[in-house]
Amino acid sequence: MTANTPTSTSKRDRVHALMQRAQQDITQAFAELDGQATFRPHTWQRAEGGGGTAMVLEDGAVFDKAGVNVSAVYGKQVPPSLAKQHPQSAGQPFFATGLSMVIHTKNPYAPAFHANYRYFEVGDGTSDSNIWWFGGGADLTPNYAFEDDIHSFHSTLKSLCDRHTTADYNTFKTTCDDYFYLKHRREMRGIGGIFFDELSAVGDGDWAQDLAFVEDGLNTIVPSYLPLVARHKDDAYGERERQWQLYRRGRYVEFNLVYDRGTLFGLQTDGNIEAILMSLPPLVRWQFDYQPESGSPEAEMLSYLQPRDWC
Amino acid sequence: MTANTPTSTSKRDRVHALMQRAQQDITQAFAELDGQATFRPHTWQRAEGGGGTAMVLEDGAVFDKAGVNVSAVYGKQVPPSLAKQHPQSAGQPFFATGLSMVIHTKNPYAPAFHANYRYFEVGDGTSDSNIWWFGGGADLTPNYAFEDDIHSFHSTLKSLCDRHTTADYNTFKTTCDDYFYLKHRREMRGIGGIFFDELSAVGDGDWAQDLAFVEDGLNTIVPSYLPLVARHKDDAYGERERQWQLYRRGRYVEFNLVYDRGTLFGLQTDGNIEAILMSLPPLVRWQFDYQPESGSPEAEMLSYLQPRDWC
């Protein structure tokens, strides 16, 4: 916080308010594009402290399922897995807030999307903590490879990073490629994006600068993704494309249930199960030993599921 | 092996042959009931040694997906997770063979089914090993609770166990209840059955007796389950029942990808991915915060997903 932005609210409250504002802006923009279905709020409490609100739109004109969850939770003791990473936080109270969202489109030619921005702070909030970090990112999962879309998505994220000295697109892009990788399928979940565990290493960051990047990141969600949906939402498609979309969604489920740290952490720590599994697609298909026809657009998509330079 | 059953084949070959014979018998019985679709073989090799054949029937008249996989794999070193459980096996060569099967029916009133019988042996097979064990079990996953079906299934398995001094229904039933439990949903995957990690503790068992139980177990798969499918395959149903079935299958996926040791072991050890994920249903649905109507048959089913005495 710099001297010329005086405020009576705590850091954690400011970040939480930012997440809530972003949730409102994002759901409004998505509902407008859908034009048919609306987001329904689902508010949940956490026994140990805190809670959240999942806004979920189902079976719309444009979106099969769109979920945007904002939570703010706290507890008396930093969870063991985080205390191991940051020994100086062990045994201390903590606070965490974040926005996470997953979008599954109706039209198979429009990509699926995921974004997550989060803030973690050690302490009880009565005084400024110096153990805090921001994490997050955004990634795209198309069923068909439109190079213009992929370029556009990555360029928008690169511009975002380039506007902030605290961020580095190349590092975040590589982290994203590594993270969203299904080892057992030897393929990425989609075509990547950006991802960072700790925007600045603990003790190393400028809070206001990091917050400014996260705010910009949240504001970039709509312009990075929604134009791609608008471009493809009315593309003509048939049973073949729909079946391929449902099949590819199987990979999404496999990734989220087998690898995704947030999901597994939530399941292990008795998190709100509906908010955690909000990411799962509404309809999914598995087919034994399926291989798309050689030379088809479906087969072509597979070649895009390995790390590649997009900017 | 007792003195009056002389044979020139090794223990491992005898078990593998038994699994293969069971695969043939089982797929024949299931294909006959289906009457429309047939099992297609998919043979796979394992780089480290061995392989298997998955027999898969898809989109039949009675079965949406029926898969029966038999494998026999070997390697130079017992995998770390098993060596930890059995330190005397560390660093030694191993052999493992097993049959695993998953059935997803078309009619929502007919239950899904899973069974798995397996044999593990330490050594290179040139001489009789004294480190070996059998594991396995069978369990049922209905979408609607027909108490007659559940009684019949459990009674058949209890009779199986009662025929063998090496088996104990109550122990295996409790192990099954504990194993097929989705902690994050606080419910069992289905209504249980029997399950055992080691039929006899290593070094403690009579090989011929244990084999006799496993053979009987394999022979009990068809009579324990197929009559339940025959009973319900022509039950009238509509969109409501179908949607509930697809929704319940989501729990099947959640269990297999989050908890099932066989699945996770396979994914981590670069097993044949199609054979491992053969268990996943052909079509699955997730719906945010879905609760069946109070007093409905769907809501009633939920009360059966906690351990209960069935015999």
What's the pLDDT at B7?
53
What's the pLDDT at B52?
95
Residue A304 near residue A154 (C-beta atoms within 8 A): no
Residue B48 near residue B73 (C-beta atoms within 8 A): yes
Please state the rounded mean pLDDT for residues B140-166.
98
SS3 assignment for chain B = CCCCCCCCCCHHHHHHHHHHHHHHHHHHHHHHHHCCCCCEEEEEECCCCEEEEEEEEECCCCEEEEEEEEEEEEECCCCHHHHHHCHHHCCCCEEEEEEEEEEEECCCCCCEEEEEEEEEEECCCCCCCCCEEEEEEEEEECCCCCHHHHHHHHHHHHHHHHCCCCCCHHHHHHHHHHHCEECCCCEECCCEEEEECCCCCCCCCCHHHHHHHHHHHHHHHHHHHHHHHHHHCCCCCCHHHHHHHHHHHHHHHHHHHHCCHHHHHHHHCCCCHHHHHHHCCCEEECCCCCCCCCCCHHHHHHCCCCCCCCC
Chain A residues inside the 8 Å CB shell of B281: 286
Distance of CA B31 to the CA centre of its chain: 18
What's the pLDDT at A180?
97
Residue A144 near residue A297 (C-beta atoms within 8 A): yes
Please state the rounded mean pLDDT for residues A122-141.
92
- Of residues B181, B154, B179, the one with CA closest to residue B169: B154
Return the minimum-mean-pLDDT range out of B5-14, B209-218, B297-306: B5-14
Please state the rounded mean pLDDT for residues A129-136.
92
Please state the rounded mean pLDDT for residues A134-147.
98
Residue B101 near residue B65 (C-beta atoms within 8 A): no
Q: How far apart are CA B287 and CA A283, in angstroms?
A: 9
Please state the rounded mean pLDDT for residues A216-238.
98
Please state the rounded mean pLDDT for residues A97-118.
97
| Burial class for B193, CB neighbours closer than 10 Å (0-12, 13-18, 19+) | buried
pLDDT band at A125 (very low <50, low <70, confident <90, very high): confident
pLDDT single digits (tens) B155-213: 999 999 999 999 999 999 999 999 999 999 999 999 999 999 999 999 899 999 999 99
Q: How far apart are CA A162 and CA B89, in angstroms?
A: 55
What's the pLDDT at B273?
92
The percent of residues in chain B predicted with pLDDT above 70, rounded, is 97
- Total count of residues recorded for chain B: 311
pLDDT band at A7 (very low <50, low <70, confident <90, very high): low
Q: What angle do CA B293, B298, B304 make, to 5 degrees?
A: 125
What's the pLDDT at B201?
92
- Helix (H, G, I), strand (E, B), or coil: what is residue A187? strand
Rg (CA), chain B: 19
Residue A86 annotated as catalytic: no
What's the pLDDT at B45?
93
Task: Give me chain B's average pLDDT, please.
Answer: 94
Interface check A54 vs B, CB under 8 A:
yes
* H or E segment to which residue A119 belongs: strand A112-122
Chain B residues inside the 8 Å CB shell of A56: 288-289
Which of residues 203 through 232 in chain A touch B, CB cutoff 8 A?
none
Return the minimum-mean-pLDDT range out of A68-82, A196-210, B140-154, B259-273: B259-273
Residue A106 near residue A127 (C-beta atoms within 8 A): no
Interface check A257 vs B, CB under 8 A:
yes
Distance of CA B215 to the CA centre of its chain: 14
| Burial class for B10, CB neighbours closer than 10 Å (0-12, 13-18, 19+) | middle
pLDDT band at A253 (very low <50, low <70, confident <90, very high): very high
What's the pLDDT at A6?
45
Interface check A52 vs B, CB under 8 A:
no
pLDDT band at B3 (very low <50, low <70, confident <90, very high): very low
Q: How far apart are CA A286 and CA A250, in angstroms?
A: 6
Task: Give me chain A's average pLDDT, please.
Answer: 94
What's the pLDDT at B194?
98
Interface check B59 vs A, CB under 8 A:
no
What's the pLDDT at B4?
45
pLDDT band at A175 (very low <50, low <70, confident <90, very high): very high
- Of residues B123, B128, B98, B99, the one with CA closest to residue B10: B128
What's the pLDDT at B8?
63
pLDDT single digits (tens) B261-310: 888 878 877 778 999 999 999 999 999 999 999 999 999 999 999 999 99
What's the pLDDT at B276?
93
Minimum-distance CB partner of A282 among B276, B280, B287: B287
Please state the rounded mean pLDDT for residues A175-195.
97
Please state the rounded mean pLDDT for residues A147-163.
98
pLDDT band at B129 (very low <50, low <70, confident <90, very high): confident
The residue of chain A nearest to residue B283, with distances taken between CA atoms, is A285
Number of Cβ atoms within 10 Å of the Cβ of A113: 25
Residue of A16, A114, A154, A232 with catalytic role? A114
What's the pLDDT at A81?
80
A282 pLDDT higher than 80: yes
What's the pLDDT at A3?
44
ipTM rounded to 2 decimals: 0.92
Please state the rounded mean pLDDT for residues A199-211.
94
B1 pLDDT higher than 50: no
The pTM of the full predicted model, rounded to 2 decimals, is 0.94
Please state the rounded mean pLDDT for residues A87-111.
95
What's the pLDDT at A95?
94
Residue A283 C-alpha, separation from nearest chain B C-alpha, in angstroms:
4
A2 pLDDT higher than 80: no
Residue A182 near residue A251 (C-beta atoms within 8 A): yes
A287 pLDDT higher than 70: yes
Interface check B282 vs A, CB under 8 A:
yes
Residue B306: partners with Cβ closer than 8 Å, 6 or more residues away: B187, B188
Q: How far apart are CA A112 and CA A180, in angstroms?
A: 14
pLDDT single digits (tens) B86-124: 888 899 999 999 999 999 999 999 999 999 999 999 998
- Of residues A200, A126, A127, A193, the one with CA closest to residue A155: A193
What's the pLDDT at B6?
45
